[in-house]
Chain A
């Protein structure tokens, strides 16, 4: 074999491996990435180390994680020990500030979020071990487990997506319940450390941030989809076909018309829309996302009224036969249940404040509470109970009051 051919072969072997990969891959070259630690990579190692429980162990484990307050039996120790490797990785990730799940936002509505449920599974195991440690008076270790869970929750919530935000809040709610059940067993210095740890958790995006990003990634994805379909069909009148294809991609099997009249109207609409109409509908979808983000950013007291107004306006367009209203079809198709999420955010923020106030009660007694209120929401009520005490506050945007039950010392 000749020298140039050898060189050429080496080049040919290298270029697909390096140059082409560089063109298509989202990741930076491995050599550079190695220098910047990423908690997400460590979390995935923890997920991979989660044991698969079976039979009796599985049943006992699932019964134990159903509640965060029920007393635990000693027989859970060996089961929880099987999570040691995974939990060691969880703690290792806690020491890493950067967390990038490398989500492919270009996939828009088809974005995958495989880490979220794994994060919940790992959190449940860590909180179960924390409860066992609290019960065994190993409070420092128990607090470390809870802190690692809170960190994981925030790392999930770093992606500005409503679903990530919901999972973050769900995990933090579980952790807060465990803490509330065990505050009485903590020393004054532990309470101090806990309060400051809670106040310095990594920041997460707000619901407004999430709506803005989702509006952008859904809009950009749809724009590419519409352009590609329009080019393929090469017919300016084929807007209906594009809408149908889009519906299939975003909502699955096809539109669920409430009745025959709705179905007939939708068919008529699909026959008449042009590609330009679909593009206009996309422009309005982006505008509706922006409006939803604006409403999400309103004070809690104003928000419910504005949501109701916005949603009823949108619902009206479903019944209307006017072209203007028909152009809101993409908004009807994909706008998420944002009111539900913002309600959860309010409840969560109130619960966070109640936990901080509960720590204050634990440190200095209930006499420090009168006049306490959760900003934007309302006053906090203290009530002594048989098992300890509870704090209650009514969020401005949610129907049910938030109640934090704090257990007395065992």
Chain B
């Protein structure tokens, strides 16, 4: 393990990034070549990729609980530190510890929010029974915060009429309601679709 860490030290970061899907494409081929020839790094990569996939799926299995993640992180840190004495400063250690704790806290909150085994969230549009007799609304899983005051309510920003703006226009007259709808429609403009320009912007 120690030999592996010494020999493959430079690969650890790109392997972590590759597992997280954050490695630049240009560097990917080189890393994959190394993985093909290094069993230890390949095993490390498989382990990390599985962990990242579990987290990013948004539906953690029972094996990926907050405690398991915490143990995994801590275990990884404990596993390495004694073997690779490092020349980092105290402040770096504190910073790393704090940031790690913060990320674990976020992950734990997320796990609490997405209970294991919970079915995927249903669409939030109110459900209407056949015949239109009943309806209910799926509430957001977390309580919304206090409403944010809008500068130009009820037509936020002056271009996007709100439900309230429509109701005021309706109360005023049919013409006012119609005019607001028309104006609203004109305010939503899509740029003409141009595949060539999209390609040029993406790959200059």
Contacts and interface: CB of A to CB of B under 8 A. Distances in A.
Contacts of A13: 17, 20, 22
Interface string B15-26: 111011010000
Interface string A317-350: 0000000000000000010110011000000000
A6 interface: yes
A20 B106 contact: yes
Interface in B107-144: 107, 109-110, 113-114, 120-121, 123-126, 128-135, 137, 140, 142, 144
B57 A29 contact: yes
A50 B185 CA distance: 12
B58 A249 contact: no
Q: Which of B17, B100, B162 has the most CB of A within 10 A?
A: B162
A100 B170 contact: no
B42 interface: no
A344 to B, nearest CB: 10
Identify whether the interface residues of A are mostly helix, strand, loop, or mixed.
helix
A49 B55 contact: no
Contacts of B52: 10, 14
Given A4-B77, A38-B123, A228-B147, A12 B99 contact: yes
A144 interface: no
B74 to A, nearest CB: 10
A160 B135 contact: yes
- In which size bucket is the chain A interface? 35 or more
Interface residues of B, number: 83
B64 interface: no
Contacts of B140: 26, 106
Nearest to A216: B137
Interface stretch (A116-124, A173-181, A267-275, A283-291): A116-124
A250 B103 contact: no
Interface in B47-98: 48, 52, 55-59, 73, 76-77, 80-81, 84, 86, 96
A163 to B, nearest CB: 4
Interface of B: 5, 9, 12-13, 15-17, 19-20, 22, 48, 52, 55-59, 73, 76-77, 80-81, 84, 86, 96, 99-100, 103, 106-107, 109-110, 113-114, 120-121, 123-126, 128-135, 137, 140, 142, 144-147, 149-150, 152-156, 160-168, 170-171, 177, 181-182, 184-185, 188-190, 192-193
24 contacts: A3-B12, A3-B84, A6-B15, A7-B16, A10-B17, A15-B110, A18-B56, A20-B110, A22-B58, A22-B110, A23-B113, A28-B58, A31-B58, A102-B125, A107-B163, A109-B164, A113-B161, A118-B185, A203-B129, A203-B130, A209-B126, A209-B128, A224-B146, A249-B147
